[in-house]
Amino acid sequence: MIHYQDRWAVVTGASSGLGRGLAARLAERGMSLVLTGRNEARLEEAALEIRFAAPRVKVETVAADLATQSGVSALIDHVGDRPIEVLVNNAGFGSYGAFAEADPDREDEEIAVDVSAVVTLARAFLPGMIERRSGGILNIASTISFQPAPYQAVYGASKAFVLSFSQALWAEARAAGVAVTALCPGPTRTGFVDALRADVAHTAIYSRLAEPGPVIEAGLRGLDKGRAVVIPGLRNWLVAQTARFTPREWMTLITARLLGAGKKVGRPSIVVRNEILIPAPAERLWDLLTDVESWPSWYRACRWVHVESTDSAGRVTSFRWKAHPVELFSTVVASNRPHTFTINAKGLGVFAARKFTFRPAADGLSTVVVSDETQVGPLPWFGRAFVARRLHASNQTMFEDLARAAGREVATQATPAAA
């Protein structure tokens, strides 16, 4: 059992991201904090923010580099003999690229922070928790823990260690009422991607990032319940389960594809282009396409649409919808009336980028509407041949429905995809 009120917690990597959010949530529960991070200015900023939000708790900071033994020792010495009820091992960073081309010093630092510091701090504080028969350790692992990770070999192996280490400690400590939980989020909007020192936006794995709030809440709920492993999000859970039942060689090759797409492969999974000539002005067609709430009335593949957010002018900025069996969350990333309308959509196993372009036809009365769509992810990769054909047909149906909604007869010209 964990007692939060008027107890002490140690949070590493607390200057930003998940560490900062977890520290704030622990302070809300009445815990005093010892925070550590490399960047002293950002660490003090985090501490000031927490003190302002939770004035009753004490917040102390230790600017230290946990890649060094002296940094880890400085944190342990600062804590002294005070009892630590919760340890959050959040500090860590990753690298990206072929192992043979990596900077050896950076890889050594990565192992020191992601592995050695986790072990040393657990050794420092777990015995006291077991003796008092209360407390908990939250170790931040990753969904990358569940399979080898080409192009992130050291980071993936480090997080696999954290997962295995946490599960072992969970079994050893649970009889004493002490919780040890491995939190395994997918890519999250925390600054981690920027710290990779590499452009990974081209990869299927890092093309979309989850918000940190739900990850933080899931981790703390799991710790409260004494769970050994927490995997936030259905998609992440499915990835982890797939890794359990897929032959290791296959899973490694799949991960190499997802992490290396665009670097080694050079082509997205599916590219589809549709084109139609509609005897209607661009303004009218632009209005129809951007009025997403009207889609169920004219787009036959669309079952429903829920608008999630709008801007100050009432224009839709994000929406959730269902096309065929897949539920998608879409964000409007560009809107240039009446020339282009661009959306990104993500769903279970798929990420799609789609741009609609409107250009006047030669007769001056009609409009040529073009859709360029790219899909990446496990769903289009595994079902490439079937999904590409189905996607092109569905998009052409959408255009025909668009033409009918504009109230005009249509002559179509379709350009099938080159995937």
* Catalytic site positions: 155
Q: How many helices (H) and strands (E) does the chain have?
A: 14, 15
CA angle 399, 402, 406 (to 5 degrees): 145
The sheet carrying 340-347 orders its strands as: 302-310, 316-323, 326-336, 340-347, 350-360, 367-376, 270-278, 411-412
Share in percent of the chain as helix, strand, coil (round to 5)? 45, 25, 30
48 and 21 Cβ atoms separated by less than 8 Å: no
d(Cα 358, Cα 361) in Å, to the nearest integer?
9
179 and 137 Cβ atoms separated by less than 8 Å: yes
Question: Distance between alpha carbon 355 and the CA centroid of its chain, in Å?
Answer: 23
d(Cα 98, Cα 318) in Å, to the nearest integer?
36
d(Cα 62, Cα 98) in Å, to the nearest integer?
34
Q: Are strands 340-347 and 32-37 parallel, antiparallel or unpaired?
A: unpaired
How far, CA to CA in Å, does 207 sit from each of 80, 267, 350? Answer: 43, 14, 11
d(Cα 276, Cα 415) in Å, to the nearest integer?
9
| Longest CA–CA separation in the chain, Å | 84
Short-list 353, 310, 360, 316, CA closest to 338: 360
